[in-house]
A and B are shown apart, each in its own frame.
Chain A
Amino acid sequence: MKASIIVFPASNCDRDVAVALKQISGKAPHMVWHGDAELPASDLIVLPGGFSYGDYLRSGALAARSPIMNAVVEQAKAGVPVLGICNGFQVLTESGLLPGVLLRNAGLKFICKDVHLTIERNDTLYTSDYKDHKTIKVPVAHHDGNYFANEETINQLEGENRVAFRYCDEQGTPSEQANINGSRNNIAGIYDEKTRILGMMPHPERMIADELGGVEGLPLFRSILDTLH
């Protein structure tokens, strides 16, 4: 698997994703600096978590307009899968590759804890290895994770089965109480029309070893590898 991870100034989960991908595929991904204009031919692009450009203006707004993003959008439109985690999800919405926007958390607090997520479907590039899971537990660490889109967009996402994950309780119910940040319909992650692009606030790359608290993030990366090979 030839994966590329885009590194922005103040990305801070780029190496975590690199470790996860290397662990799964045995191959170290390319680390591509945001100022580069060229992106090596990749079969997966990852926009990692962090606080690119200090979250100035809006989270992800400046990163979405950095030179490398032209190449990312081009490859994404040509069908190359793009995974955006946390800040990467914000960059995906800001660049228009995914609809909606991530607002400040409804409770205004930075939230850093493990959360439960429903796996809404396990037939995608990113979730095919979650056959035995209805829910997973992975960490979140964000201030702007409150997914918002207008009614029409939400209906479209729901109608087209494009919600990837929802915040839920331990039993798997996406209750209001489990909705940590006020997201519409408890949405924690969404796909594009072809389910090739996934944006998600939680961090599967931080749940890939028992020492980190569990391995429930691993199947996501394994799914990608299995599907691409």
Chain B
Amino acid sequence: MNFLAATIESLGAKVTGWFAVGYAMFAFLARATLLLLDRTTWNRATLDVVVKQVYFTSVQILHVFLGYALVISWLIITIILSTARDFGLTEFASEMTIRVLVLELLPFLTALFIALRSGSAINTEIALMQVNNELDALAHCKVPPMQFEFLPRLLGGVISVVTLAGLAGLLALLTGYLAIYGMNTAGVEPYTQTIAKIFDFQIVAGLIAKCALFGLAVTLIPVTAGLETPKKLFMVPVSVLRGMMRVFFAIVAIEVVSLALKYI
């Protein structure tokens, strides 16, 4: 009896914990959004931090990222093309390539890339600041951390994921054209036709929204995970671990929901 009660209690504690985490996250997002709407937020200092965030999140890794996107795109396009040729379905190859790469795979990989590189860094940084009472100190010095630490990171994340996924997508479109039609302009018309068929307004809006949500997930979740770290140094790795797990689940959930909305 005792055992059953203990199990139910632990389950309740877990569910309460999830709710608390979820609530904290969305409350934080609401505060950030409200702050974004405030005119006083838009000053030179905040903008400077946003620029720095964009630099560290995307410009610094641009060449590595584009190289990686190129290799992945080239491989996947070649695989799809040869498979389509084997089964005599070449006319569907270009559409398949664009749908798989530009709409699904590249945004997903971009989000993972940014999450692993910047998300983990943000989580660690905030957790350390929290443990070392730096956030309180900043607030005490009239430097609200929300405006100068958190909001710029969220903005930087969203801008970075949207831009990087867009650039990788354009690169994949170009690679796809070269792989299918080679170095000539003969295929421009059918390729344009295929692109026009795929990218209607809903798809483009959905793609941008998905990338923005990815960007938000890879920054918002690490920030809130860092903020809920107990003030003990050994809790920092635990905080990063939890934060990254949540980021991973959030990215997968966004991808699954977007696929479901698009194809079901």
* A, B assembled together: no
A residues sitting closer than 8 Å to B (CB atoms) are none
B residues sitting closer than 8 Å to A (CB atoms) are none
